[in-house]
A and B are shown apart, each in its own frame.
Chain A
Amino acid sequence: MGATVNTLSDSASTLYADGQFESARTLFESLAEQGHSDPALYYNIGNCYTRLGEFGEARLWFERSLLFEPGNEETIHNLQWLNTRLTDALPAPNDPLLHWIGSQFREVLAPEHWGLLAGLFLIAALLLLVLRKFKTPAWSWRAPLALSSIGLVLVLTAQTSMPQSDKVIVVSNNSYGYSAPDANGTRILLLSEGSAGRLVRATEDWFYIGLSDGRQAWFSSDQWDRVFPINAH
């Protein structure tokens, strides 16, 4: 797997450097489809889409990259660069509190690292408890209790820092918003490429999306893509 990732990634980078952005994008996306989840990979796909002029898709992939690595300066720069060109696009609503807290935790450590830390504390606590039970009952309960408490807090932190997002982005040139999930219904909105919103609920072909200005409408799910989970659409 490792060799394949390296080979494909290097080939894609070479194609990108040669200006063959479409081929580079295909290779990078094939890695993502194989389940390789790396913010750098998402960032590279975003770059390819930017070079291809597909700013909606580019924004989607930069947002995905930032979801996993919120503090990455290069991704932030590219997203800002893109936003200055997506002048007609509607910005995303603010993150819910828990998502925001999670992103703050992710800026410090990745969720798996929080999990690892929690695991270490929990294993130490478990070890002390076993020893106290079967070997030296005279040991105080204070040390295992402290370790268990820290471990529990770290487990909660790790769980909160798991990437989660209900953000959706327009990936087609524009998208009409309807008052009902019906293409023959009344059109109440028109959003341009790169506009973002929050997914309130979804049916097979329709997304009910809340926008940053408080409006809500039904949109065809073909024209939107979810930031997370990846490849869900």
Chain B
Amino acid sequence: MEKKIGKYHWLWAFIFLATSLVAQEVQLTARSSRTSVGLDEPFRVTFSCNARGGDLIPPSFEHFIVVSGPYSSQQTQIINGSMSFSRELTYQLVAQEEGTFTIDPATLKIKGKEFQSNRLTIEVKAGVRKERSQSVPKSAGFEVEILSSKKAVYVGEPIVLLFSATLFEQVRDLNMLQAPNFENVLQQQLEFEQQSRRERIGGKIATVLDFDKRLIIPNKPGTLGGQELKITGTVQKPTGQRDFFNMPLMRWEQEVATAKIPAVKIKPLPTPQPSGFSGAVGELKLVREVSRTSVNGDESITLKLRIEGAGNFNTISVPELIPPQGFDLYDPKFNEKIRYSERGVRGFKEFEYLLVPQFKGQFILPQMEWTFFNTKKEAYETITLEETTLTVTGDALVEAEPNNDGASPKIQREVNTIDNDIRYLQEVDESNTEHGKSLLWIWVLLGGVALGWLLQLVSIKSRSASPEAMHAAMKKAINTAWKTNDPEAVGKMLNALEEALVRKGIAKENISLTVLNEAFGTASGGRINALVEQLQLALYAPNTMVSNDEWLNEFNALWEQL
């Protein structure tokens, strides 16, 4: 029973606390450690609210740079049964420019509702800006200077920016608030060991620390630099008090220093640029290494084509090999080793080719040329790799094709042409005026041919209808029937003779020797009469036939006369 009561007791307490929290009105406030600050003087802005949940969104801090933060903290207090809660978000800022600026309110979003803090007005004055000089600084714990390795460079030529801090007090956590933001440059932070040295500046001993190095490779002509960078550091400052052992008490304070990037002139590359120039700038070499120049048929050659030295390796590409004939060339292996240092970008890029011989003989590795801009000589330089003769021996391979005279093995070479311009003019043909002219005359000619065919057809028709044609056709038909032993051949021949005689005006019933003699003469008349009688006899008494061929010959002879 007691346990139950205990449980209820805590439950009531929880409900009471929760209700009191919910009932509390949400408050969001902003406050600043200072309302009037100097340039480069850090100050704090704190946003505090009494709500537990929700998202606290800070403003954009326009005209200010966040040096550190946000630092968050929260606090719960129970005093006389009354519970209060607060949480804070703190930023350390420095102003970017002089003037009076307003920091926009922060926003708290909780359960779909939005709460805003008050605005802060900050007055920024000049006066705290520090100038580097040989005199003793007034109160600054450190100063920063940016040094450039060169005042003028060509496009593609590297520059090193050295960030050097002069520390008048103990300083830690040196940090760049903004990285240099250059356009059209390749920027690379260099790895190096920070080094410090002691120097006397304005009668005071200070530590000079090189804390950052950056390599800059410009891609376009113009002027680089001129802008200011802000660097923060935590400086150890005396409090003016001493501890139990009479040692001065110190505290760490954050300070901001400003440094200007020196202006560097980026010169364009001289014009006109040589035709083979592809943008490589620096102190470079093109190297072609051949593992051997004489091989057996079953061996291979390794060829390396390499660009090495110091230059703008980020944009350099190794030229392609003009392959020798007589070898199989495999896809090259690409090797590169590039190191960024204060001496620039150094290293190499190379293609490694494997050449496998296909024929016996001598083959030429063609000459190669490569142009770059030498920054040391300030002039374009063309590297020429001379021809190299590769000799392939061994019985496993056949000879390469001999020359026409057969005197020596053909030394083959291949020239790669790079077309980067249009072809020249062509010769105009003065007689060429007929292109695309009408082909009407051809159609007229075609019409003539068609007419010729029409005439042929008319001629065939008329010829087939003429008596001569019929006469010839009849003779051909009789001959065909006779030769094919047509049983009706005798009848057909007799009919043909009788019809022919009818056309001559002699009726069938009037055929007699007398009539025929009168019509054709004695000789022919007698022969016609004899042939007719023999045919009539053969028609009615087939066994009396003498000779088929004799009758046919006689018929053919007499037919022309008929």
Contacts and interface: CB of A to CB of B under 8 A. Distances in A.
Contacts of A191: none
Interface string A140-168: 01001000100110010011001100000
A35 interface: yes
Interface residues of A, number: 50
A5 B428 contact: yes
B459 to A, nearest CB: 6
A102 to B, nearest CB: 11
Interface in B437-469: 437, 439, 441-443, 445-446, 448-449, 452-453, 455-456, 459, 463
Contacts of B452: 125-126, 129-130, 133, 144
Given A2-B431, A37-B433, A133 B442 contact: no
A115 B442 contact: yes
Interface stretch (A40-48, A89-97, A179-187, A214-222): A40-48
Q: Is the interface of A mostly helix, strand, loop or mixed?
A: helix
B105 to A, nearest CB: 47
A71 to B, nearest CB: 14
A119 B442 contact: yes
A81 B421 contact: yes
A128 to B, nearest CB: 8
B432 interface: yes
Q: Is the interface of B mostly helix, strand, loop or mixed?
A: loop
Interface in B457-511: 459, 463
Contact of B435 (A6, A9, A68, A126): A68
B413 to A, nearest CB: 23
Interface in A97-118: 110-112, 115, 118
B434 interface: yes
B436 interface: yes
B428 A129 contact: no
A201 interface: no
Given A38-B428, A44-B426, A119 B441 contact: yes
A118 B428 CA distance: 27
16 contacts: A1-B433, A35-B433, A36-B432, A38-B433, A40-B426, A44-B425, A74-B423, A115-B441, A115-B442, A118-B446, A119-B445, A122-B445, A122-B446, A151-B446, A155-B446, A158-B439
Given A50-B422, A77-B419, 13 more contacts: A5-B428, A13-B425, A16-B425, A31-B428, A36-B428, A39-B435, A41-B432, A47-B423, A81-B421, A81-B422, A82-B422, A119-B442, A122-B448
Task: List 4 A-B pairs, minimum CB-CB distance, nearest first.
Answer: A129-B452, A40-B426, A38-B432, A9-B428
